[in-house]
C-alpha cells in the first residue's frame, strides 16, 4: 500500500451532501471531484435511468429511446456541473427528478415530431406527415383539467398516479402522510382522488372534438379513456416525482432495470463536460489540407461544389476552425465564393486535385485526384492531430448523404446558429420559417425541413452560436 492510498478517503462512507461538496471543488481537485461523482453515479444513476424511462415513455417524439438517453445524459451532466443539492430541502433523488423533469420539458420542445418523420433520403415527393390534430388538443384539454385542481387536489391525484395506476390503493404509510399533510381522513383522500379523476375524464369525454376520437379508440383499439388520460399525463412530464412523498412511492414500487452498457460508467459525463473546443486559427495550408481531406472522404458519385462547400462550412463551425471565411446567403445555403476559389486553386497547385467543370447546362464541378492526393490523409493527421478523430467521425455521418441533404442541413445549421448569436427564441417552426425565407428556391424542400431537423438532433449536428451571423 502506498502512502497516498493509505490516506485516500473511502468515498463510499461519505454522505450525499459531502460528496456534492467534493464535486463542487472540481476546478481545484478534478480527480477527487470525479471520484466523488462516480460514487454518486453508482448510488443513483440506475434510479434516474429508470425514472427517465417511466416518465418519458409517452412523449410524442420520433425516437423515444434516443430521447430517453438524451434526457438521462443531460440530467447526469447537469448534476455534475451544478452540484447544488441541499439535504435540508429534501431527498437527493427528488432533487435529481426535478432536474430530469426540466431537461425532458426543454428537450421535448425540439424533439417533438410525428413518429416516422425520419430525414428522407433525397426524395422531395415524400410528404411530411402532420401531427394528428387530437394530440395538441389533448394537451390543451389536459392543461384545462389540471388548472381546475387546487394544489391539494393535484398532489393527491398525482400521488395516486405515481403508484403507476390511479385505481390502486396507496400503501398505508403514504396514505397516512397525505392524511397528516392535509388533515383529512382516508375516506376523504380517496374521495378527492376519485372526484378529480372523474373531472379529468369528464373534460376529455364531453369535448365536442375529442369525443369521436375516443369512441374510435375504444372501438378500434380497445383503449379506455382512463388509460389514455394517464398516458397523456405522462406525455407532459407531469409524472416525474416532484415531492419526497411521490419519490418514496416511486422507489418502493419500481423494479429497477440495469443501465445500458454505454451508461455503466460516468465517462460520458466527464467527456461532455470538458472545456469548450478552443478556436483554432487555420492558415491557407491548413484549410487546403482540410478541404482535400473532406474530398478524399466524401468524394462519392454526386459529390460536387455544393456538397463540398456545405461540408466545409459545417466542419469549420462545428469544430471552431477559424478560416477567415465570409459566408453569404446564396440559393444553395451558406457560401463563400472567394474562399472556395482560393482553396481550389491551392488544391490544383499542390497536385492534390484537378477540378474540371462540366460544360453542359449542369455546370457541375468534379474533383479528380492527382499524384499527391494520397498524401492528404497523413498531412491531415499531422496538421489536425488534436481534431482529426472527431472530424473524421463527423464526416462519416455525412459521407453517404446526397448533395441536397447537405444543402438542407447546412442551411438549417446557419439559421439556427443565427438565432443563437442574436439570442432569439428557437423552435422547429421558427427554424423552418427562417429556412424558407433564406431564398425562394428553398420552397422545394418545405416537406423535408422538420425531418432534417430531427436528423440533426439525433446525430448531434447542433450549432453553438460560433462564428458570424450570415445576413
Q: What is the pLDDT of residue 150?
A: 81
Contacts of 147 (CB under 8 A, 6+ apart): none
Please give the backbone phi and psi of residue 260, each rounded to the nearest 5 degrees, phi first: -60, 155
Give the helix, strand, coil percentages of the chain, each rounded to 5.
Answer: 65, 5, 35
Residue 368 cell numbers, joined = 479528380
Half-sphere exposure of 328 (CA within 13 A, CB side): 7
The CA distance from 175 to 140, in Å, is 31
Contacts of 406 (CB under 8 A, 6+ apart): 306, 307, 310, 311, 314, 398
Q: Please give the full DSSP string across 10-45, using - where no structure is assigned.
A: -GGGS-HHHHHHHHTTTTT-HHHHHHHHHHHHHHHH
pLDDT digits (tens, 9 = 90+) for 4-57: 444 456 888 898 989 998 998 887 788 888 999 999 999 999 999 988 887 776
pLDDT digits (tens, 9 = 90+) for 343-354: 999 999 989 999
Residue among 269, 244, 210 nearest 95 (CA): 244
What are the 10-residue block averages of pLDDT along the chain, 471 residues in total? 49 89 83 92 93 72 76 90 86 90 73 40 33 44 66 76 54 77 86 79 55 46 53 53 79 82 87 63 90 90 88 93 91 91 91 85 81 87 86 88 92 92 83 92 91 87 87 84
The CA distance from 128 to 452, in Å, is 11
Q: Is 462 exposed, middle or buried (0-12, 13-18, 19+ CB in 10 A)?
A: middle
Beta bridge partners of 112: 61
Amino acid at each position: 500500500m502506498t502512502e497516498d492510498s493509505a490516506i485516500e478517503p473511502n468515498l463510499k462512507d461519505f454522505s450525499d451532501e459531502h460528496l456534492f461538496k467534493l464535486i463542487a471543488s472540481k476546478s481545484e481537485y478534478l480527480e477527487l471531484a470525479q471520484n466523488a461523482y462516480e460514487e454518486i453515479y453508482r448510488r443513483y444513476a440506475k434510479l434516474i435511468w429508470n425514472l427517465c424511462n417511466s416518465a418519458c415513455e409517452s412523449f410524442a417524439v420520433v425516437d423515444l429511446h434516443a430521447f430517453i438517453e438524451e434526457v438521462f445524459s443531460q440530467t447526469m451532466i447537469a448534476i455534475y456541473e451544478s452540484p447544488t443539492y441541499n439535504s435540508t430541502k429534501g431527498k437527493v433523488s427528488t432533487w435529481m427528478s426535478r432536474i430530469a423533469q426540466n431537461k425532458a420539458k426543454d428537450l421535448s420542445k425540439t424533439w417533438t415530431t410525428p413518429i416516422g418523420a425520419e430525414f428522407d433520403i433525397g426524395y422531395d415527393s415524400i410528404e411530411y406527415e402532420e401531427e394528428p390534430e387530437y394530440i395538441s388538443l389533448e394537451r390543451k384539454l389536459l392543461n384545462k383539467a389540471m388548472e381546475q385542481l387546487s394544489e391539494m387536489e393535484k398532489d393527491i391525484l398525482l400521488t395516486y398516479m405515481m403508484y403507476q395506476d390511479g385505481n390502486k390503493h396507496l400503501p398505508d404509510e403514504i396514505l397516512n402522510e397525505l392524511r397528516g399533510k392535509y388533515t383529512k381522513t382516508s375516506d376523504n383522500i380517496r374521495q378527492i382522488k376519485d372526484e378529480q379523476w372523474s373531472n379529468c375524464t369528464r373534460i376529455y369525454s364531453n369535448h365536442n372534438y375529442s369525443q369521436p376520437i375516443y369512441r374510435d379508440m375504444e372501438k378500434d383499439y380497445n383503449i379506455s379513456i382512463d388509460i389514455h388520460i394517464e398516458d397523456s399525463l405522462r406525455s407532459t412530464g407531469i409524472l416525474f416525482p416532484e415531492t419526497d412523498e411521490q419519490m418514496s412511492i416511486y422507489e418502493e414500487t419500481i423494479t429497477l432495470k440495469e443501465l445500458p452498457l454505454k451508461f455503466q460508467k460516468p465517462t460520458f459525463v466527464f467527456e461532455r463536460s470538458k472545456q469548450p473546443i478552443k478556436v483554432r486559427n487555420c492558415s491557407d495550408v491548413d484549410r487546403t489540407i482540410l478541404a482535400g481531406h473532406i474530398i478524399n472522404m466524401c468524394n462519392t458519385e454526386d459529390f460536387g461544389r455544393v456538397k463540398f462547400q456545405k461540408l466545409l462550412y459545417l466542419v469549420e463551425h462545428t469544430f471552431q476552425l477559424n478560416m477567415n471565411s465570409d459566408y453569404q446567403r446564396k440559393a444553395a445555403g451558406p457560401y463563400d465564393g472567394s474562399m472556395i476559389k482560393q482553396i481550389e486553386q491551392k488544391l490544383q497547385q499542390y497536385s492534390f486535385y484537378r477540378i474540371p467543370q462540366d460544360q453542359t447546362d449542369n455546370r457541375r464541378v468534379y474533383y479528380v485526384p492527382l499524384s499527391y492526393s494520397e498524401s492528404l490523409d497523413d498531412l491531415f493527421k499531422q496538421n489536425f492531430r488534436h481534431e482529426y478523430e472527431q472530424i473524421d467521425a463527423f464526416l462519416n455521418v455525412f459521407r453517404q448523404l446526397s448533395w441536397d441533404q447537405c444543402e438542407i442541413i447546412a442551411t438549417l445549421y446557419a439559421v439556427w446558429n443565427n438565432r443563437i448569436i442574436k439570442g432569439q427564441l428557437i423552435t422547429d417552426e421558427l427554424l423552418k420559417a427562417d429556412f424558407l425565407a433564406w431564398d425562394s428556391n428553398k420552397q422545394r424542400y418545405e416537406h423535408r425541413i422538420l425531418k432534417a431537423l430531427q436528423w440533426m438532433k439525433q446525430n448531434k449536428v447542433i450549432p453553438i452560436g460560433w462564428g458570424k451571423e450570415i445576413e
